[in-house]
Structure 1
Amino acid sequence: MSVMKEILKVESILKQVKLIIEKNSKIEKETGGLFNIFSILNMERLEVKTHSALLYELLNPDGSHSQGSTYLKIFVNNVLSIENFDLNNVKVDRERNINSLGRVDLAIENQEHLIIIEIKIDAGDQKNQLKRYNEYGLRSGKDYDIYYLTLYGYEASNYSTGNTDINYKCISFETDILNWINKCIGAEKTPVLPAVRETLAQYLKLIEKITNQLDGGLKMEIKNLLLKDNNLEIAQQISKVIPYCRAELEYKFWTKLHHRYNEQIERLGLKYFDDVFFKDEKSDIENIVKQRKKKNGDIHFEYEVGDYNNKKIYLLIGCDGDHERIYVSFTIATEDKFFPFEENDKEMVNLIEKLGFVNSLGYGYNYVTYDLNFHTDSLLKLQNENTFNKAVKSIGDELLDIIKKVTCNKELNDIII
């Protein structure tokens, strides 16, 4: 096939996919498919108030769904793959207090078996978290299993396991929870329970959204199109270019943000740390592609705040795979190494928390509220010039507010050089 014919073929496929998407969007609008209570209330990514709460309610045999252990049984069999789990006298807890060992997001327990589930959406790992859960399991004297539930089935960090060999299993919202909710919708009595059925259907849509998946019907139509006339091979070639398109959008955003706000940030007393970023567009885009393929891939640029105890304090502005939000990170470092807060004095740790930074993975993070995530399809809205400019201004203004709190803090200014 000539180059021109290939280009025409690609254009034809894209037009057909566009028609399928437009048709699906029209149907969603006409049938109210865009109405989602979780999105309306801005509760899409809340681990405790949304996901932990709803999973607990569905798994709890005494839950308001009044279906007893129906949904729990599907979960144990199809998600956890635990055989011969006795569903009699089961206790399900959320935020279970395990005293000095912390709190467990979800605990499912009968007389012989303890199931511990840790849920992660945006929050980073806590120090020795899975190690502490493992200790709790050992102390229970029962058979126990630990499950680490994330959007895509990521493994826990060494920070959580305490660099020890913890036996835990990874499960995901992307496949495991999505399939479980589908099975719950299809359970014997669910179809005749309108409130339960519609809540499950909306939660299913939410999971598809936060894990960047297509609606089932839309996915099927596009799949059938790609399986015709050698379209799949062409689609695979297109897919290889998509990471570079996403990376270019992200690069343009960071560049515009930096150019527009760098002078204002430096006027607040910070010094831009001029490393490799913003020097060569091609290499920067390649680096973004490389980083975004990693689980914890991070893109950031740095500002020097001052000297402290023979180290330097930096504010990093970026977005990584752990938090999936644009952040300002408060870090302490030498020329070649960052230091977690635990290695520094209590005065600095307390001060960082006073400044509004969350201690995650041993570093301080403060997040912007504007809905832009380079790991999801929210990045695509940057293709619109007005939205792009609004995102730069909104995020830039938020960053300035965070930085002002740091640079204007008297306690911090008293201990840095």
Structure 2
Amino acid sequence: MRQDEINFTTKLSKVRQLLSLAKQYQALLAEPEHYNLFSVLRSKNDEVRLHSRFLTDLLNPEGRHRLAHFPLKRFLENVCQVEVTDGNFDFDVKAEYQNIDIFLANFTTKQAIIIENKIDAVDQDQQLLRYFLSVKQLGFKSITVVYLTLDGRAPSPESVKGQSECLNDYEQTTVNISYSVDVLHWVNAIIEKSATQPALRESLIQYTEILKELTNMTNNQALLEALKRLLIETQSIDVVDVLQEAKIQLQSEAVVSLWERLGEKLAKRFELKVDHSEEAVKHLVSGFFAPRSGTNHVDFKVPFESISDSYLSVICESGDALSLGVETSNNDEIIKSLPITLDCEGNDYWPIYKYITYQGEYWDFKKLSSDQISLLHDPEFIDGFVDEIVQEVALMKNKIESGLTS
């Protein structure tokens, strides 16, 4: 047996041993789900009514936490690393102020903090630029724009640029922060401070569990510690990279299978001339998953018969979940004025859009859970999922075109 074959066999044996022991640890240390008030009251993805409102109360020195300025100071100094004018932390903190998710205003020092909270929603056209300019017109001299996402990504170019100006043209600070690291560490610091307030402490602990679910982190620290020891004891640290590579490939293959089948059924249902071949879809999806490839979305477009240069787009963008929306270059007002009920949302870029859920779940192709990846390798599941998407497209298309001709 050649040396490379021996090395392969040895590594494969270590992988099998590691997976077997990891499964045993997981079964042994699995914690039964316990009551979490946040998940009972709101969806864990609810940006406005769960996350923005809860974070607003924590940041407010007069909030229900009774920790005075500690959460606010910790957030501005440690998370955002904002230089507070004259050391004056007397900020008014408001949620949903003029469409700004969280707004911090110091009327004495004329300093303002704009926090844009993005979990599932996409950036609107010129959104951060508009917020900045509206606050500037109020007379604030020092303005910081904080862009909060699950992973700390930067805002889209469309959000910061206008036709003749750009947010980066102004002397201000833009900070990108994440729930997965920045907010989680910040909340843990508040937990340590709240030792004498058991109700607050338990609420904060439950909130960190929601954040970990959102960002695909384990809530079982005992399991994590056991797996770390296992990697050392079995000398399998190098195996992790191989397993991660295999997971990424499984994820990509799952999306290819779904997208290829979706293209086939959309083409048949709506007589589209789209290339839904395996080769074309693989090329598109590989670009979507590759870092710095310039491909930030995968989509299929279904044109309207009764309105020019307008489409229904089934799309998944980087950092966002699978959605269905109207894409139009010059007919926004016509679309927005339609007297129809679609249970949809709208913004400056997508006059009508909705997230596509299946079996009660959102589908972010870049952040598929292990269960979702497994399901997308089941042809029967893919067929059911694709049929649901095609039905959603047909329903929205019919309602919009009926509204246009009525």
The alignment's TM-score, normalised by the length of structure 2, stands at: 0.82
Please name the residue that 1:414 is paired with.
Answer: 405
Alpha-carbon spacing, 1:6–1:404, altered in 2? closer, same or farther (3 Å): same
User: How far apart are residue 192 of structure 1 and its match?
Assistant: 2.6
Unaligned residue ranges in structure 2 (runs of 5+): 1-5
Native 8 Å contact 1:149 1:173 kept in 2: yes
- Does structure 1 residue 20 correspond to structure 2 residue 25? yes
Amino acid at match of 2:287: K
User: How far apart are residue 174 of structure 1 and its match?
Assistant: 1.2
Alpha-carbon spacing, 1:273–1:203, altered in 2? closer, same or farther (3 Å): farther
Q: Secondary structure at the match of 1:125?
A: coil
1:377-396 matched pairs, under 5 angstroms: 377-378=368-369, 380-383=371-374, 389=380, 392-393=383-384, 396=387
For residues 106 and 357 of structure 1, what CA distance do their matches in structure 2 show?
Answer: 24
Native 8 Å contact 1:123 1:322 kept in 2: no
Encode CA deviations 1:345-399: one digit per residue, 9 max, x unaligned.
Answer: 6324433986555334623422223304223343624525998746753663364
Please name the residue that 1:280 is paired with.
Answer: 278
For residues 104 and 45 of structure 1, what CA distance do their matches in structure 2 show?
Answer: 18
Please name the residue that 1:362 is paired with.
Answer: 349
For residues 199 and 6 of structure 1, what CA distance do their matches in structure 2 show?
Answer: 44
Please name the residue that 1:350 is paired with.
Answer: 337
2:249 to 244, 248, 254: 244
For residues 220 and 142 of structure 1, what CA distance do their matches in structure 2 show?
Answer: 48
Alpha-carbon spacing, 1:40–1:378, altered in 2? closer, same or farther (3 Å): farther
Task: Give the RMSD, CA atoms, in angstroms.
Answer: 3.1
For residues 308 and 90 of structure 1, what CA distance do their matches in structure 2 show?
Answer: 49
For residues 271 and 296 of structure 2, what CA distance do their matches in structure 1 show?
Answer: 25
Native 8 Å contact 1:92 1:109 kept in 2: yes
2:117 to 113, 116, 119: 119
Alpha-carbon spacing, 1:220–1:78, altered in 2? closer, same or farther (3 Å): farther
Alpha-carbon spacing, 1:9–1:287, altered in 2? closer, same or farther (3 Å): farther
Native 8 Å contact 1:368 1:399 kept in 2: no
Native 8 Å contact 1:210 1:376 kept in 2: no
For residues 154 and 361 of structure 1, what CA distance do their matches in structure 2 show?
Answer: 21
Amino acid at match of 2:384: K
Encode CA deviations 1:97-130: one digit per residue, 9 max, x unaligned.
Answer: 3xxxxx2211222321221111111111122221
Native 8 Å contact 2:59 2:93 kept in 1: yes
- Does structure 1 residue 329 correspond to structure 2 residue 325? yes
2:218 to 209, 214, 218: 214
- Does structure 1 residue 76 correspond to structure 2 residue 76? yes
- Does structure 1 residue 400 correspond to structure 2 residue 391? yes
Native 8 Å contact 1:52 1:106 kept in 2: yes
For residues 399 and 228 of structure 1, what CA distance do their matches in structure 2 show?
Answer: 50
Alpha-carbon spacing, 1:400–1:69, altered in 2? closer, same or farther (3 Å): same
Please name the residue that 1:7 is paired with.
Answer: 12
User: Which shifted more, 68-77 or 374-383?
Assistant: 374-383
User: How far apart are residue 262 of structure 1 and its match?
Assistant: 4.6
Aligned length: 383
- Does structure 1 residue 55 correspond to structure 2 residue 55? yes
Q: Secondary structure at the match of 2:123?
A: coil
The alignment's TM-score, normalised by the length of structure 1, stands at: 0.80
Q: Secondary structure at the match of 1:274?
A: coil
Native 8 Å contact 1:273 1:304 kept in 2: no
User: How far apart are residue 405 of structure 1 and its match?
Assistant: 3.7
User: How far apart are residue 183 of structure 1 and its match?
Assistant: 0.5
Amino acid at match of 2:324: V
For residues 39 and 390 of structure 1, what CA distance do their matches in structure 2 show?
Answer: 27
Alpha-carbon spacing, 1:159–1:9, altered in 2? closer, same or farther (3 Å): same
For residues 195 and 129 of structure 1, what CA distance do their matches in structure 2 show?
Answer: 37
User: How far apart are residue 409 of structure 1 and its match?
Assistant: 4.5
Please name the residue that 1:161 is paired with.
Answer: 160
Q: Secondary structure at the match of 2:95?
A: strand
User: How far apart are residue 47 of structure 1 and its match?
Assistant: 0.7
User: How far apart are residue 209 of structure 1 and its match?
Assistant: 1.3
2:184 to 160, 167, 178: 178
Please name the residue that 2:91 is paired with.
Answer: 90
Unaligned residue ranges in structure 1 (runs of 5+): 98-102, 333-338
Please name the residue that 1:292 is paired with.
Answer: 289
For residues 144 and 199 of structure 1, what CA distance do their matches in structure 2 show?
Answer: 31
Alpha-carbon spacing, 1:90–1:141, altered in 2? closer, same or farther (3 Å): closer
Amino acid at match of 1:172: S
Please name the residue that 1:335 is paired with.
Answer: none
User: How far apart are residue 271 of structure 1 and its match?
Assistant: 2.0
Identity %: 24
- Does structure 1 residue 320 correspond to structure 2 residue 317? yes
Alpha-carbon spacing, 1:158–1:88, altered in 2? closer, same or farther (3 Å): closer
Alpha-carbon spacing, 1:105–1:385, altered in 2? closer, same or farther (3 Å): closer
User: How far apart are residue 48 of structure 1 and its match?
Assistant: 0.4
Q: Secondary structure at the match of 1:144?
A: strand
User: How far apart are residue 204 of structure 1 and its match?
Assistant: 0.5
